């Protein structure tokens, strides 16, 4: 059985299934919210348009999720119109759709991308930089000509115990493996 498109009309049972509501709740809400106007065919069979579904989804959000009383929702519709509730229903539906992780923006564009930084663990463990090969070796004459007193070398920073960091890293790797196993199973 093929699923209906988002633009197809729904019967009361299909609408109830999609919205997680019982048909009697939909009939009750029709009596309380005059903007819910399903098309009625022969024999009184109801068909809900996509806009009806979005409107009902918005009402459900306000009543069930945000716990507003029916009278408050009726006042909101009277004040701002049904279009606002329909938009709420659309946004709730769009937010609930599954998305591929590659389609998700983890860092918004308004945040500057960080420049690569040196490895903090290496900097802490070995705070004194090794001489580069491009640095020329000073000659004996350069050393003799230097009349300035030799600068006092700073004491090396005390070694920091990185075992806690390594333990945290191994826990993160274990979590990543668990997530990958879970993701493959789903």
Q: Mean pLDDT in each 10-residue stretch from start to end of the chain (186 residues)?
A: 67 92 94 92 88 93 92 93 89 76 66 63 55 59 57 66 76 84 73
pLDDT for the residue 62: 93
DSSP letters, 14-58, are HHHHHHT--HHHHHHHHHH-TT---EE-GGG-EEE-HHHHHHHHH
For residues 38 and 30, the answer to whether their CB atoms sit within 8 Å is yes
Neighbouring C-beta atoms of residue 109, cutoff 10 Å: 7
DSSP state of 63: I
Instruction: Give all domains of the chain, ordered by start, each with its CATH number.
Output: 10-98 (1.10.1660)
- Supply the pLDDT for residue 17: 93
Residue 27: per-residue pLDDT: 92
The pLDDT value given to residue 94? 77
What's the pLDDT at 98?
Answer: 73
């Amino acid at each position: 059985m093929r699923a209906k498109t988002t633009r197809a009309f729904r019967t009361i049972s299909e609408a109830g299934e999609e919205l997680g509501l019982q048909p009697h709740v939909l009939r009750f809400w029709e009596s309380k919210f005059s903007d819910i106007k399903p098309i009625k065919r022969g024999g009184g069979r109801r068909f809900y348009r996509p806009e009806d579904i979005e409107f009902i989804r918005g009402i459900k959000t306000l009543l069930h999720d945000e716990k507003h009383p029916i009278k408050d929702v009726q006042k909101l519709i009277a004040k701002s119109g049904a279009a606002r509730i329909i938009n709420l229903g659309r946004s709730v539906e769009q937010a609930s759709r599954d998305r591929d992780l590659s389609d998700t923006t983890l860092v918004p564009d308004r945040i500057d991308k960080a420049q690569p930084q040196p490895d903090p663990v290496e900097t802490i463990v070995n705070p004194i930089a090794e001489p580069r090969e491009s640095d020329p070796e000073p000659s004996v004459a350069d050393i003799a000509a230097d009349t300035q007193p030799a600068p006092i070398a700073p004491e090396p920073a005390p070694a920091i115990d990185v075992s806690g960091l390594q333990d945290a890293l191994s826990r993160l790797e274990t979590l990543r493996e668990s997530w990958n196993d879970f993701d493959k199973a789903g």
